[in-house]
Amino acid sequence: MSLIKKVLVTTALSSFIAVSGFAADDLVKKGEKIFTTNTQGNCIACHAVNGKELDGPGTMGPVLQSLSAWPEEALYEKVYDPYVSNPISAMPAFGKNGWLTDAEIKALVAYLKTIN
- pLDDT tens readout for residues 94-103: 999 999 999 9
The answer to whether the beta carbons of residues 84 and 90 sit under 8 Å apart is no
User: What pLDDT was estimated at residue 2?
Assistant: 63
State how far Cα 24 lies from the chain centre.
Answer: 10
Q: Over range 2-20, report the average pLDDT.
A: 48
Check whether 32 has a pLDDT greater than 50: yes
pLDDT of res. 60: 87
Residue pLDDT, tens place only, 70-81: 999 999 999 999
Q: Cα separation of 36 and 41, whole Å?
A: 7
49 vs 50: which has the higher pLDDT: 49
Instruction: Tell me the C-alpha distance between 97 and 112, whole Å.
Output: 20
